[in-house]
Amino acid sequence: MGFKKYCLTSISNLMKNGISLFLILLPLSWACQKEEALQPEATAHEQEAARYEKQALDQIAEDQETTLAFRGRLIQVPAGSDLLQEAVEDAPYGATLVLEEGLHSLSGTLVIQKSLRLMGTGTETTLEVDTEVTTEFPLQVDPAIMVVSSGPVEISNITIQDPDGIGQVGVLLLHSDKCKLSNNRLFNFRYTILVEGSDQASVHDNLIESSPEFAVWGMVNVNGKNSRVYNNRFVNTNNGLFCGDAQGVAVKNEFVHTEGAGEIGLLFCTPNILGQFMVLPDGTPAQAETSATGWIAVNNTASNWQWGFLAIDGANNNILINNRAKKSGLYDIELAGESQRFGFTTPTSFNNKVFQGRDQLIKVCGVDNQAFGGNQVNTTLDPCN
């Protein structure tokens, strides 16, 4: 019997025996509230973390409730070779293209230049696109799918891969706001998802899997504000999610490395290496304009990485709440100062906050970075670099 129920039952029994209600309540008034009184109030830091967490979860809830309005025709696209690009070009604005089960193959990039929905009908719906793989820097972007649309585009429930087993880029969102990638399975690309000049991207419930032998990044948010990245599973991508630009949220993503240790599960940084990062399909160079600023990362997990979570290279005002890394080679979480670790100077991170349980190894360097909770590294014994 719970304590409250016990109090009420005792009062009832005493009253049946003629005992005054006042005399009953006087000694019991404090005791019956003892259970609540013993509950400690949340600390100021816990309250602050709860506010940030609610902010992130509210954005995810809003994204889940938002249904893109595709009121055009419903078009069935049969499996086959080089049929899909023509179907996309012929489809009216706002159409839904349903890819029938089977193999849809293209010899070059699928280009989407209008608002529409592209969806598969099951796990057997596969899109194979031949991309040119190069390892030179800056990244030469040759994507399986390129979205360049003034209106929203949704791509869902499709297996996307390269016929040769190794692809260059899976999906490029280019100057296309409010696009959604959901419930897809993307296999064996060097860079699986790139966001460039595209605000309010929604990337959720995807499987992003590759091989550390050639994979570089699962997803890079180069330039794109208010991205929402949640419930994705990144497997063996060598590096998981690269957060650039501002005001994004990353919630309940899983970063898994099963073949040795990957480099970084979730990175807050600047996708800009000495003024370069990638060359777009039309030959235009593109690189980040802003380091990761104002992101909120909540309840993400990272297994078998050198760093589970890392903020570096000018990353600032980012919030990390109850993320969990295990089997980290170096640190579970690091907020870095100025560094030469990548072979060039990266400026200090600043004004980032970590709210964490006790079991995470956290190294706090940089300027005005803070961690509340966790097992914090003694930077006198293990200096910042």
Q: How many domains does the chain have?
A: 1
Q: Is residue 235 part of a domain?
A: yes
User: Measured on CA atoms in the order 180, 211, 272, 132, is the torsion positive or negative?
Assistant: negative
The answer to whether residue 37 scores a pLDDT higher than 60 is no
Q: Is residue 333 part of a domain?
A: yes
Write down how long the chain is: 385
- The average pLDDT across 161-170 equals 96
Domain with 55 in it: 44-69+137-152+164-376
Query: Model pTM?
Result: 0.90
Give all strands of the β-sheet with 139-140 in edge-to-edge order: 139-140, 278-279, 285-286
Q: Which two tokens stand for residue 266?
A: 């979730």
What letter would DSSP give residue 100? Answer: P
Rounded to whole angstroms, how far apart are CA atoms 225 and 202?
Answer: 11
Q: Is residue 168 part of a domain?
A: yes
Q: Is residue 26 part of a domain?
A: no
Q: Is residue 30 part of a domain?
A: no
The answer to whether residue 355 scores a pLDDT higher than 60 is yes
Q: Is residue 91 part of a domain?
A: no
Q: Residue 161's pLDDT is what? A: 98
Query: Considering the chain, what is the average pLDDT of its residues?
Result: 90
Kindly state the percentage of the chain with pLDDT values over 90: 81
Check if the beta carbon of residue 203 is closer than 8 Å to that of residue 228.
Answer: yes
Q: In CATH, what number is assigned to the domain containing residue 307?
A: 2.160.20
Q: Residue 3's pLDDT is what? A: 42
Q: Residue 38's pLDDT is what? A: 53
Find all residues with CB under 8 Å of 155, minimum gap 6, and list them.
117, 118, 119, 145, 147, 171, 179, 180, 181, 182, 184
User: What radius of gyration do the chain's Cα atoms show?
Assistant: 26
- Phi/psi of residue 234, nearest 5 degrees: -105, 120
Between CA 343 and CA 349, with CA 346 as vertex, the angle to 5 degrees is 145
Q: Is residue 132 part of a domain?
A: no
The answer to whether residue 7 scores a pLDDT higher than 70 is no
Which one has a higher pLDDT value, 377 or 122? Answer: 377
- Element (H or E) spanning 84, and its range? helix 84-90
Q: Is residue 294 part of a domain?
A: yes
pLDDT tens string 69-106: 777 789 999 999 899 999 999 999 999 999 999 999 99
What letter would DSSP give residue 21? Answer: H
Q: Residue 71's pLDDT is what? A: 76
User: Measured on CA atoms in the order 176, 178, 179, 184, is the torsion positive or negative?
Assistant: positive
Q: Residue 289's pLDDT is what? A: 86
